[in-house]
């Protein structure tokens, strides 16, 4: 049995940490400077991306064509509204990045030109064979629909190297999606009208005829609203616009992040080299 008890290494104090950092200062400065060079290279080579935004609101359930905040009696009532009260707007939220919308977007030459420009660095390859499914995945990744406070309003956000094309894509997305929803509603309504007319012609009971007539009038009303040349599911509160300054890359974030990563990596390298000292 040993006469001397085993030594217990004391926990490091804050002073010990500062001393380790000071001893690693040269390695941290060298690797930190390398991080600065990498950050400068990254910002120089990266293509600037501009942020385009469009604010949408559920189309009026009365006219299906415009949303007017002033018509609401109380601001708190406006804030308490839920998107679930607007089924057509919910359709819009779940359809704007669908393959059916993407397929119609691909018929637009300006959209194809915009897709060819969308690469963070000049040396990166460009997707040549776009399909509705590929574009649908692209829209799901890069076009976001964000809530606007505690309201039913939604903000479409998209980043692209070209400010004009970024706004154009959002406008086309809204136009195509709303048109497809309108067409689907029109077809469904016409089928209901034909069914109700046939049922009404074969019904003798006065009460049943009255109920069928009411349903038929409601479907005729919907058909009329769908025929109006205005947004049906989502109305535009703020048209698509892009910022003047690029949103990405952000030098105020890139340089500190790369330099701090360099400092940390330099500290680790120094620690590994002097692990057994």
Q: Per-residue pLDDT tens for 27-81?
A: 999 999 999 999 999 999 999 999 999 999 998 654 443 334 444 444 444 444 5
pLDDT the model gives residue 93 = 94
Are the C-beta atoms of residues 149 and 94 closer than 8 Å to each other?
no
Predicted local confidence at residue 61, as pLDDT: 52
Domains of the chain, by residue range, sit at: 16-45+251-273, 50-182+233-242
Q: Residue 85: its pLDDT value, please?
A: 61
> So what's the pLDDT on residue 260?
96
**Closest C-alpha among 103, 116, 136 to residue 47:** 116
Specify burial of residue 125 (Cβ count, 10 A radius: 0-12, 13-18, 19+).
exposed
pTM of the model: 0.79
50-182+233-242 domain in CATH 3.30.1890?
yes
Q: Rounded distance, CA 178 to CA 235, Å?
A: 9
Query: What is the per-residue pLDDT for 81?
Result: 53
Q: How many other C-beta atoms lie within 10 A of the C-beta of residue 110?
A: 13
């Amino acid at each position: 049995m040993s006469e001397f008890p085993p030594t217990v290494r004391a926990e490091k104090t804050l002073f010990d940490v500062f001393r380790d950092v000071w001893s690693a200062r040269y390695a941290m400065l060298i690797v930190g400077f390398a991080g600065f060079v990498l950050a400068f290279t990254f910002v120089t080579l990266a293509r600037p991306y501009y942020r385009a935004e469009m604010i949408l609101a559920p189309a009026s359930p009365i006219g299906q064509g415009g949303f007017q905040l002033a018509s609401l009696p109380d601001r708190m009532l406006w804030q308490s509204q839920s998107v679930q009260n607007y089924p057509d707007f919910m359709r819009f939220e779940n359809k704007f990045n669908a393959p059916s919308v993407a397929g119609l977007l691909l018929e637009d030459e300006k959209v194809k030109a915009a897709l060819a420009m969308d690469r963070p660095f000049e040396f990166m390859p460009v997707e040549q064979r776009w399909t509705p499914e590929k574009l649908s995945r692209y829209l799901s990744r890069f076009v976001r629909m964000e809530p606007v406070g505690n309201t039913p309003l939604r903000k479409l956000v998209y980043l692209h190297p070209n400010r004009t094309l970024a706004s154009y894509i959002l406008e086309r997305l809204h136009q195509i999606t709303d048109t497809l929803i309108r067409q689907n509603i029109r077809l469904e309504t016409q089928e209901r009208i034909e069914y109700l007319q046939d049922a009404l012609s074969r019904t003798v009971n006065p009460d049943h005829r009255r109920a069928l007539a009411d349903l038929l009038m409601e479907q005729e009303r919907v058909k009329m609203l769908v025929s109006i040349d205005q947004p049906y599911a989502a109305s535009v509160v703020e048209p698509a616009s892009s910022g003047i300054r690029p949103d990405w890359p952000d030098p105020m974030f890139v340089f500190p992040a790369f330099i701090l990563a360099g400092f940390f990596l330099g500290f680790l390298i120094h620690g590994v080299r002097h692990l057994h000292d």
